[in-house]
Amino acid sequence: MRTTVSSHESRSLRYLATLWMGGCVALGAVTVTCGLLEQELGTAGFFLLVIVVLLSLLDSFISSLIFSVAGAALLGYFFMEPINSFHISKPGDLFSLVAFLVTSIAITTLVRRIGRVEKTQRAQAQLLELTHDIIIVRDKNNVITYWNQAAETLYGWKKEEAIGKFIDEFLCSAFPLPRDELQQIFLRDGQWEGELVHTRRDGTKIIVTSRWALQRDGAGNPLATLETNNDITQRKHAEELLRKSQAQYFAEAQKLSRTGSFGWNVSSGELLWSDETFSIFEYDLAVAPSVELIRQRVHPDDMPLFEEKITKARGFTVDFTVEHRLLFPDGRIKHLHVVGRSASGQPDNRAFIGAVMDVTAAKQTEERLRHAQSELERVSRVTALGELSASIAHEVGQPLAAIVTSGEACLRWLHRQPPNMEEIEGCVSHMTDQGNRAAEIVQRVRALMKGAPPDRAAIAINDVVEEAIILIRRDIERQSDSLTRRLARELPLIRGDRVQLQQVLVNLIINGLQAMASVDGRRELIVQSRLDPEGNVVVAVRDSGAGIPEANLPQLFEPFFTTRSSGMGMGLAVSSSIVEAHRGQIWASNNPDGGATFSFSLPPSIEEEV
């Protein structure tokens, strides 16, 4: 840094020394020349003044002062009486000398000031050359007076070619509004900004944003215009591309979603459709859309609705939504969902914009779904009827089978000699019990058919257990080695249908007996009743049979699930419906030591709790 400063100082010192020496030589030369040519004081003074002024252009005020004083000294010494002396004898000479000094200092100061102003202006003009903006100055007749470097680069013409040309013709300018109108606005406002199209030297068109500022003279008359332009051609092209691709995406999206759009000026009757709207109504893009064209497509059955909506829309500025069908000449039908939103609130210029959705596919799917649902309902009804019949057959089948077995046994005892009256009596009483049970079941089914509510009597569950065991005691005796009751005392009463609950227990016990039929070893049945932590009454039937394969567990309670060749798969399904009708739960599990346990729980009777 120091080095730079000192080298700069030494350079300026050298310049000063050279200037002063050169100045002295020039002044000396003029003096000698004037002396030799025996010129007068005035002539010598004039030439010396010229030299001093020229020298003053080369450096500061100090140098000008020194040269002025040196010039005055040379004049006084060589051209004033007495010659070759600094003594001045004539007062007039002294006045001339002072005049020389004052004139020389005044002129040098003025010349230097003018030089400085010029320098500043040149620097400022250079700045305008540096900018990337196109700067053009034109006079009041729109003739170019200034044309910067950026203008040369963009338009392709050099300064010399552009200056002096009438700008509008030179650049083949295209304006956004008539030229005269634009000029009036510009003169009124003193400025204007907008987009212009210019033609370059190579003939290509460019778009520029142009800003104009008006310069006026003291009287307010237009003097010149400063025009600053920026080339936005590429940006405009990119915007146009984007707009086009957006329009393309929009059209594609409309096609994909089968949604067209429209604009409807109710006041003027003008209707605008998107391409997709044309495609929905199946009209050629060339036709002019109109309400009449739509009317030609509307399904005759939907015409009143359509006319009503049109009349309303014409009368009020309210949004509308309408669903109607179109009927095409070939008999095809389309379902439309049309939504219109008010786009202008002025009564004299009412307009709607909206969307037309082709919902035919959705409508058809809806129709198919509705059809499938009604078919499902029909199948469910048939299935329910089948289940009911199967359930009746199953429930009534059990007592009937028991009656047949008892009847056969009865016959055998009768044929004995002597007939065993005790056994016969037992068989007949069993037959009567089973007959009664079958009758009760049939009665229940009839009540169910009539929609009669099930019996909701308060029942002690242990009684139901006992009754069920009595009903099938013969089967139990025959098919098991032991039946253990583990019935909890003082259980709360439950509310329900005694016969239905008996059926559940009979089903579970008979299933247990059947499961034990195929196993070796002791065939033990345990019937248990207890209270669970939630206060529900639980009944469990535990057997020592084959148990339930894991895979079958989830389907046990489904209708028609059976693993037995002669089974119907209704027993557990019916039991499950009965328990659920009593707001209870039923479940099955395998015992750790073999066999299965089927349990159900029932909520206690509320009155009992109170």
Q: Which residues bind ligand ADP (CB under 6 A)?
A: 507, 511-512, 515, 543, 545-546, 548, 556, 561-564, 567-573, 596
The amino acid at residue 504 is V
- As measured in angstroms, the least distance from the Cβ of 580 to ligand ADP is 15
Q: Is the four-CA dihedral 249, 250, 252, 253 of positive or negative sign? A: positive
Quick one: how far is CA 551 from the chain centroid? 48
- As measured in angstroms, the least distance from the Cβ of 570 to ligand ADP is 6
Cα separation, 273 vs 297, whole angstroms: 15
Within 10 Å of residue 438's Cβ, how many Cβ atoms? Answer: 18
296/563 with CB nearer ligand ADP = 563
573/579 with CB nearer ligand ADP = 573
C-alpha angle 30-35-40 in degrees, rounded to nearest 5: 95
364/383 with CB nearer ligand ADP = 383
Cα separation, 207 vs 389, whole angstroms: 89
393/442 with CB nearer ligand ADP = 393
- As given in the structure block, the two tokens for residue 518 are 């195929």
**Cα R_g (the chain), whole angstroms:** 60
188/564 with CB nearer ligand ADP = 564
- As given in the structure block, the two tokens for residue 577 are 């419906």
- As measured in angstroms, the least distance from the Cβ of 510 to ligand ADP is 8
Cα separation, 600 vs 557, whole angstroms: 12
- As measured in angstroms, the least distance from the Cβ of 497 to ligand ADP is 19
351/548 with CB nearer ligand ADP = 548
76/512 with CB nearer ligand ADP = 512
340/399 with CB nearer ligand ADP = 399
Q: Across the chain, which distance is largest between two alpha carbons, in Å?
A: 200
- The residues, ordered by sequence, that sit 6+ positions from 256 with a Cβ below 8 Å of its Cβ are none
Of 443, 435, 425, 426, nearest to 404 by C-alpha is: 435
Q: What is the DSSP letter of 87?
A: -
Strands (E), 26-96: none
Cα separation, 230 vs 209, whole angstroms: 5
152/543 with CB nearer ligand ADP = 543
Of 479, 484, 465, 477, nearest to 600 by C-alpha is: 465
Strand-pair partners of 265: 351
- The residues, ordered by sequence, that sit 6+ positions from 421 with a Cβ below 8 Å of its Cβ are none
Strand-pair partners of 199: 205
71/571 with CB nearer ligand ADP = 571
395/497 with CB nearer ligand ADP = 395
Contact 193, 184 (CB under 8 A): no
**H-state helical runs in 451-567:** 461-471, 473-479, 498-517
- As measured in angstroms, the least distance from the Cβ of 538 to ligand ADP is 17
Q: What is the DSSP letter of 488?
A: P
What DSSP line would sit under 544-602, residue for residue? -S----GGGGGGTTSTT---STT--S-HHHHHHHHHHHTT-EEEEEE-TTSSEEEEEEE
- As measured in angstroms, the least distance from the Cβ of 339 to ligand ADP is 56
- As measured in angstroms, the least distance from the Cβ of 438 to ligand ADP is 18
